Structure 1
């Protein structure tokens, strides 16, 4: 939830009306950003990830279920490192590959947080998803 969710909730309508002509990437590092939790919307294809895409973001990273905070930080760091083309530039068009590499690194056990083993690892890495072109 956003800090002002009660007074000004983030909705598909509010995203659609925003001027987002130059956006390239949305990284939604929160739990269940690709889930549909509202019973009235279960038969709809829209969720937060698709709302960002409809608003103009060609690349959107989301999660399917609750995520571990330590793991989210590790994946985000590796993801943003994977976007780098040099010391200062990043290329959002590398988003799918960068997330794949970050998740695979964790999946292969190279960067598991303390207290986790490979048997529990899918709950840590499998929630992360790239949507886009």
Structure 2
């Protein structure tokens, strides 16, 4: 859930978010050296206010600061069916066949998945153009 007035107060909406919010500030303070991929299929995980458009204070950047080398987020609301399709396509592309994931291919996997959706819905970029990858 984005907080456009206080971006560091933006938070993940988890089961106990009302009592114990997990904010951008909390995430950025974590040190998780062995994590590799965070996939956020949610509304506006990279969104900030117009006044702070040149600052990268959002959940995606906080997860990168915490240690995730690859983070997939969204710029705006994700249609549930499309969001599930993108996640499935990305994870299938990352699979190595032995149950592991080749996360170094995350950007490529997201790109090819989004291109396939673009080909299916060429007149509706609002369905497929919101996913972004942050990382190498």
- TM band (smaller chain): 0.7 to 0.9
Q: CA deviation at 1:128?
A: 0.5
Report 1:1-133 matches (<5 A): 1-36=13-48, 44-109=55-120, 117-120=121-124, 122-133=125-136
Residue ranges of structure 1 left out of the alignment (5+ in a row): 110-116
How many Å apart are 1:43 and its aligned residue?
6.0
Q: CA deviation at 1:44?
A: 3.6
TM-superposition CA deviations, 1:21-67 (whole Å, max 9, x none)? 10000000111111125x88666421111111111111000000011
Q: How big is the shift at 1:90?
A: 1.1
In structure 1, distance between residues paired with 2:29 and 2:18: 20
**Cα deviation, residue 131, structure 1:** 0.6
TM-score in terms of structure 1 length: 0.84
- Cα displacement (A) at 1:19: 4.1
Deviation of residue 127 (structure 1)? 0.2
Query: Partner of 2:22: helix, strand, or coil?
Result: coil
Runs of 4+ in 1 over 4 A off after TM superposition: 39-43
Number of aligned residue pairs: give it.
124
| Structure 2 stretches lacking a partner, 5+ long | 1-12
**Alignment RMSD:** 1.9
CA–CA separation in structure 2 for the residues paired with 1:87 and 1:125: 29
Question: Quick check: 98-107 or 1-10, which moved more?
Answer: 1-10
- TM-score, L = length of structure 2: 0.82
